[in-house]
Structures are given as C-alpha cells and as structure tokens.
Chains A and B, each alone.
Chain A
Amino acid sequence: GALVYQYPRRTICKSGTSMRMECQAVGFQATSVAWYRQSPQKTFELIALSTVNSAIKYEQNFTQEKFPISHPNLSFSSMTVLNAYLEDRGLYLCGAREVALNYAEQFFGPGTRLTVL
C-alpha cells in the first residue's frame, strides 16, 4: 500500500537555529508533495506545493528564503525551517500525490512536530 513517512517525528531547536525535516513516499510515485503546518490552535496552513521538475509554489506568508524545499525524486522531499522562532512551532505535515491519478487521494505523513525554545 501507499504510505508516507516523515523524519524526525519530533524535534526541538533553539530560537534562531534551523532544522530540516524529511518526507518519504513508499508504494507510489510522489510526483507532487504539499507541505502544511498545523498550528497549536489546530488549523492547517498550506506552506508550499512541490512538483518534480517544476518550480516550487509558495503560499502567501511563506517564502523559499524561510522554508527551502528540495524534491529531487519521486520518493523524497525535504523542507528546512531556517532561523526558527516561536511562531514556527507546530506539526509539519507532508501530503503526497501521484499526479497521474485524477482526484487521487492525498497521502499524509504522520508529521514532524517542531518545538522552538
């Protein structure tokens, strides 16, 4: 079956430092990966959409300079949170999809929970 793994599951970093999180798709080709952040208030924000061999599209309030994303192949994507501050804390989810399938279910990883001290 199709599964999405995320590493690490939890991480703590000091304010002003950076941390990298990874997303791995197993059992299908993750042509597109969307990164989301779930705030402590539980709402989800879309950060960016990454499609292999295409430019990464960032949503308003999120930038490549702050959240650089790498999507080098059909099974792996990574995102870094640069200069993390308190407002960056939350659960970061990646959702992956095989674009060839119309209305295909988006598979989510378990998330990386970021705590900023």
Chain B
Amino acid sequence: GEQVEQLPSSLIVQEGASVLINCSYTDSASVYFPWYKQEPGKRLQFIIDIRSNMERKQNQRLTLLFDKKTKHLSLHITATQPGDSAIYFCSAPSGSWQLIFGSGTQLTVMP
C-alpha cells in the first residue's frame, strides 16, 4: 500500500521567513495529494492540493510543487506569520480516496 514520508519533523523560524516541507510517496498510481494544517485544539484544515497532471499550484503564500518522476512533493510557505504555526500534513490516497498521512511537520513561527 501507499507510504508517505514527510520531513522535517519540526521547523522554527522567525516571522517573515520562508519554509519548505518535503514529502515523498511510494504508489505511482496516486493522483491526488491534499495537504492539511492542524492547529492546537482545532480540526484538521485542508489548505492546498495538487493532482498528478500538474507540476505546480499556488494559493496565496502557499506553493505546492509536484514531481511525478521522483514521487516527491514540496510545500513552500512564504512570508510566514505567527498564525501559520501549526502541524502540517501531506497525504496521498490509499485505495480509492481514504488518505495515508505523512508524519507531520510542526511549524513554529516566532514573532
């Protein structure tokens, strides 16, 4: 089945910095990759996704890059703010649509 690896496990940056979160997956048949954000005490929040027929997708300060050949994804967050502090998860579908999640990246943005 699908396996997803995510690095780094944690990031601490100053406000305004850019960060990069990397994920790799194993199932070449996977075609859809949603990313989520989890803030303390809040529900898992969808933030961006990409399909396998795309190489890049941008949503405001988020840019998601996808390399089908290497089965690799990268989430780039620019101009970080303290409100961006959360755990970020990449995911890939297992079977039909249920998700296999990466291990998460704890992002802390210091003011």
Chain A residues in the interface with B (C-beta under 8 A): 4, 32, 34, 36, 42-44, 46, 49, 57, 93, 95, 97, 99, 103, 105-106, 108-111
Contacts and interface: CB of A to CB of B under 8 A. Distances in A.
Interface in B68-97: 87, 89, 94-97
Interface residues of B, number: 22
Interface of B: 32, 34, 36, 42-44, 46, 49, 51, 87, 89, 94-101, 103-104, 106
A95 B91 CA distance: 13
Nearest to A110: B43
A49 B43 CA distance: 19
A70 to B, nearest CB: 18
Contact of A103 (B36, B42, B51, B99): B51
Contacts of A49: 95-96, 98
Contacts of B103: 42-43
Contact of A46 (B34, B87, B99, B104): B99
